[in-house]
Structure 1
Amino acid sequence: MANNEVYCKLPQDAILEILTKLPTKTLLQLRCVSKSFTPLISHPDFIKLHLSCTTGAGAGAPYPYHLIYYESTDYQKAYFSFHVDKSFSPCKILETPFKSINGYLRLVGSSRGIVCLFDTSYFSYVGTVILWNPFIGKFKILPSLQGLNCLRDDISHIAVGFGFDHRNFDFKVVKILYGCTNEREVPPEAFIYEVKIGTWRRLGSVVPCFMPRWPWSGSVFVNGIMHWLAYKRQLFSGPPTCIMALDLVNEVSKLMELPQNLGPNPKELRLSPLVDEKSVALFVSYHENVGKTWDMWLMNDYGEVESWTRKYIVVLEHVFFPLKIVNDGQTLAAISDEKLVLIDVEKEEVQDLEVCGLPLSFDMAGYTPSLALLDIGDRLVWQDSLRKQA
């Protein structure tokens, strides 16, 4: 009996239940071999249902893959490598389907199959946000903030965050614009983009903190909340003094304290999610020559400053910076000879992952395949689309 005949005789509810439990790769194959499945699998309601069945209604962690972003040592190409969770064995390497127009492509984050990238430059706050689903090969270029009367002359830099609003079942991107002037304090402005609506709008809540004036201020998304290292006041000198948290569901922000006994004169701080994606970790270096010893602090009870605990000390010659805790006692780190390594702090072992790139370009996020963005039109031509935005 032909497959189509079996498909026709099955009740529609049974077909739907079967399809929602299939992995993303299988569903994509079904679209290629059977035209009858294509409209159903590509429908926004099915994509939403499949997303909820495969990742759950919460944060969507733990992730089956580690996603690593890095640039080639000749500055010519950007890559994503996918690694299987736990074993960390490589399973796929992809080039980005677009080349940076502004010169500085960075990974903002990953949530439920969508990778968020920000294309900007070292010398300007101007940039373009791209949402990309590497498993289905589609991406969406977000519009600029033009028309919202926010592009002032005193803007100095920008922070970007990305995550998933589980209550409204929608992907959201946040941009926070910071100003700098010698004459007066310039309050930051925050804007939010909802994929379902497709437009930017001003965020009503007050932004309580100030981001470091770096070319890139990365965010960490856990518990439905974005987190950035920040300052309590507009003083961009020394290491950050707090964590700014923005709840994507309620769209309110708050200040979170760093460990009270952090120690004197920390030189560099880096924020990371915990393995279960339910709280945050903090890497701290105290040395003038950053890259030899890093303290690892864990926030055991999310939001409670008293729960910060110094768990490990990462010591390795030529460590450029740690990226993320990937398993209990294991930390991913970039080292100065253009390699990525996995450090087992408890066993004092170092594994070369055979991923080579510019040390400062390395970034990492968890990844779960999904059908998100499958219902958008054909892929746009990247360079032409950006030129039309300008």
Structure 2
Amino acid sequence: MSANVSESSGTGDASSSSTTLDPLSSSSPVRLPAVRLACCLPTVAMVSSQLLPATSSLGDLPRDALVEILLRIPAKDLCRLRAVCPSWRALTSSPLFVAEHKSRHTAPLLVVAYRDQDIANGVDVVDLSGNIVKRIPSIESDIVVEDESGHVFAVFPVSHDSISVLRTRLDRICFTRELYPLGLWVLNPATGVTLVLPQCHSEELAHDDEIRANYGRGQVESCALGQVSSTGEYKVIRIATIGDRQLCEVITLDGAYCGKWRGKQSPPALVFASRGEHMRCAVVDGVVYFLMDFYTNYFSTGVLTIEPGSIASFNLETEEWMGTLQGPGPVRTFVEDHENFCYAHLNLQLSLAELDFSLVTVHNNHNISMDLWFLTDFENAIWEKKYYFLPPIAHLGVHPFLVLHDGRILFSHAGGLLKSYDPKTGTYADALEVRDSRSIGIYTGSLLSL
């Protein structure tokens, strides 16, 4: 296997070079020097001064040293240490401490849907070793639908319903349900609160005759949850199809409440569906990118009206479309440059991803090669091919998912696996087995908040 990779700069985990002190251990106590640690930075001093009284100490251990030691301990062990005393629990539960600890321990947590034998659905937060950090069952009262008159009523789960998690990178989780094509739910794992987003359309669209005639029979072609950087607001955008039209609506989430859908201008052209195995939508820094559908019109008319690889971008802050972004040059001319391929092939090969906080166009020429094109300049549509892979990575149903701090890349497989590729060694190995690799997100919140 060969791969062209860019140099990746990892960030060290402080816990990997320090000794974990367990005050619950029955072994002889370790005597610590009565001096301040050299690594007690201003941040540590600020945390300790705000959270511990000036006289707080552990024997001869100064307060700054105590905070520094606790910040070095992995979150899973730190949760156990909260039982030592009330002051430790208060310290390690404070937002200031949690934020500082999160900045030091950057190993990602994953979000996957689960389903048990009693047909109950829910969401698991897991680490990269597959350990379940927290299981959040779906509450039956969260499964609601709204009729045309605005009446809301609960629906009990059934055996053929299931949850599908959107591919997000946030401290919120957005998921859909198989039996409710217009339904969206947003979960805050830290509080356990699930917002049920309205299934009805916005007021701007509700009076449309075609929408009224097709009430409840629409299909969400694509949806995404993102956060506005300047305000911290969470917003959801959905692109729904009614007849041959695509409608755009946005809703703002506010803590434990959500507003109403607001009708927005339709996409500049048809966008590809991003449901199920089609990864054709990505969110980067408050902008939602949709891969535009170049194939449907070409298939029916034989005329190519949209350039292959083109991307529609929607700004969640301004709630406006930002125009059409050209895809990488070799993607646009792929069919012209390769006489053995047609637009039907290219239609199956393209997807979008968010990797290393960049928009990535994935050109997966199944069983031949996979190119990862990183957007480096939005205004001038400049793309850089940072990775080139051969089979078995270049295979149907394989999608890049996450770049780890050590440079490894996680790929999701249609068979329910996450695999990792290490560019330093050229090895490709199983990383984690999940129920549905298409239904998985990244949780950026702290384990200490769960």
* Shared fold, TM over 0.5: yes
1:130 aligned partner: 186
Q: Which amino acid aligns with 2:392?
A: L
SS across alignment from 1:125 = strand
Q: Is the 8 A contact 1:71 1:362 kept in 2?
A: no
**1:242-277 CA distance string (max 9 Å, x none):** 2222222222222222112112242322211122x1
Distance (Å, rounded) in 1 between the aligned partners of 2:239 and 2:83: 39
Q: Which amino acid aligns with 1:167?
A: S
2:325 aligned partner: 256
Give 1:316 deviation, angstroms. 0.8
Q: Is the counterpart of residue 64 in structure 1 residue 107 in structure 2?
A: yes
2:312 aligned partner: 244
User: 1:338 and 1:199, CA in 2 relative to 1: closer, same or farther beyond 3 A?
Assistant: closer
Equivalent of 1:342 in 420, 438, 447: 420
Q: Which amino acid aligns with 2:328?
A: P
Distance (Å, rounded) in 1 between the aligned partners of 2:202 and 2:97: 35
1:229 aligned partner: 291
**1:215-265 CA distance string (max 9 Å, x none):** 446542222222232336974969974222222222222222211211224
Q: Which amino acid aligns with 1:333?
A: F
1:6 aligned partner: none
SS across alignment from 2:330 = coil
User: 1:235 and 1:31, CA in 2 relative to 1: closer, same or farther beyond 3 A?
Assistant: farther
Distance (Å, rounded) in 1 between the aligned partners of 2:297 and 2:105: 37
User: 1:52 and 1:240, CA in 2 relative to 1: closer, same or farther beyond 3 A?
Assistant: farther
Q: Is the 8 A contact 1:67 1:365 kept in 2?
A: yes
Q: Which amino acid aligns with 2:389?
A: I
Give 1:70 deviation, angstroms. 5.6
User: 1:171 and 1:193, CA in 2 relative to 1: closer, same or farther beyond 3 A?
Assistant: same
**1:40-71 CA distance string (max 9 Å, x none):** 999xxx86x78877779xxxx99531415266
Equivalent of 2:195 in 134, 141, 155: 141
Q: With the length of structure 2 as denominator, give the TM-score of the two structures.
A: 0.59
User: 1:253 and 1:65, CA in 2 relative to 1: closer, same or farther beyond 3 A?
Assistant: same
User: 1:64-103 maps to which residues of 2 (within 5 A)?
Assistant: 64-69=107-112, 80=124, 82-83=126-127, 88-92=128-132, 94-98=134-138, 101=157, 103=161
Q: Is the counterpart of residue 192 in structure 1 residue 192 in structure 2?
A: no
Distance (Å, rounded) in 2 between the aligned partners of 1:205 and 1:357: 37
Residue segments in structure 2 that go unaligned for 5+ positions in a row: 1-47, 54-63, 144-156, 301-306, 336-341
Q: Is the counterpart of residue 164 in structure 1 residue 227 in structure 2?
A: yes
SS across alignment from 1:210 = coil
Give 1:78 deviation, angstroms. 6.3
Q: Which amino acid aligns with 1:143?
A: L
Q: Is the counterpart of residue 271 in structure 1 residue 333 in structure 2?
A: no
Distance (Å, rounded) in 2 between the aligned partners of 1:62 and 1:41: 14
Residue segments in structure 1 that go unaligned for 5+ positions in a row: 1-11, 375-390
User: 1:224 and 1:142, CA in 2 relative to 1: closer, same or farther beyond 3 A?
Assistant: same
2:375 aligned partner: 299
Give 1:336 deviation, angstroms. 5.8
SS across alignment from 2:382 = helix
User: 1:41 and 1:334, CA in 2 relative to 1: closer, same or farther beyond 3 A?
Assistant: closer
Q: Which amino acid aligns with 2:401?
A: K
1:14 aligned partner: 50
2:442 aligned partner: 365
SS across alignment from 1:69 = strand
Q: Is the counterpart of residue 320 in structure 1 residue 380 in structure 2?
A: no
Q: Is the 8 A contact 1:125 1:158 kept in 2?
A: no
User: 1:79 and 1:41, CA in 2 relative to 1: closer, same or farther beyond 3 A?
Assistant: closer
Q: Is the 8 A contact 2:186 2:194 kept in 1?
A: yes
Distance (Å, rounded) in 2 between the aligned partners of 1:347 and 1:142: 45
In terms of fraction of residues, the more helix-rich structure is: 2
Equivalent of 1:281 in 329, 342, 360: 360
Distance (Å, rounded) in 2 between the aligned partners of 1:148 and 1:356: 36
User: 1:297 and 1:145, CA in 2 relative to 1: closer, same or farther beyond 3 A?
Assistant: same
SS across alignment from 2:200 = coil
User: 1:236 and 1:54, CA in 2 relative to 1: closer, same or farther beyond 3 A?
Assistant: farther
Q: Is the counterpart of residue 220 in structure 1 residue 296 in structure 2?
A: no
